[in-house]
Amino acid sequence: MSTEPEIKRWTAKRKAALIREIYKGQTTVPEAARQHDLTPSEIEGWIEEAEAGIENALQANPRDVAEQYEQKLKELHEAYGEAMLENKALKKLHRHLGLDED
């Protein structure tokens, strides 16, 4: 039985802290499960998610990722602008040809 107050919601920060304790050997999955009234499979799932996140974090430099997103956003804005111009031109052409569908 735990002396800590019952936690109904496990935030990412709390999960990470618990996983760090397990990695550092300060506790085990079964001990943590008992202490926090969780199932070992819940904690093992969090560990799997954390390991996938670690792999993703190590694959790219965060600045590189930010630059990629900024470049993609710029490209999307340009494409949107082009589409708007084409749309206006087509509407004008339809009006000129009397093909308006009002």
Q: Do residues 30 and 52 both lie within one domain?
A: yes
Q: Do residues 43 and 75 both lie within one domain?
A: no
Say if CB 29 and CB 44 are below 8 A apart.
yes
Q: Do residues 66 and 82 both lie within one domain?
A: yes
- Give the DSSP H/E element, type plus range, for residue 11: none
Q: Do residues 37 and 66 both lie within one domain?
A: no
Range of the domain at 65: 61-102
Rg (CA), the chain: 27
Q: Do residues 50 and 74 both lie within one domain?
A: no
Which tens digit of pLDDT belongs to each residue from 28-78?
999 999 999 999 999 999 999 999 888 777 776 767 778 888 999 999 999
Helix (H/G/I), strand (E/B), else coil: 63 = helix
Q: Is the pTM of this model over 0.75?
A: no
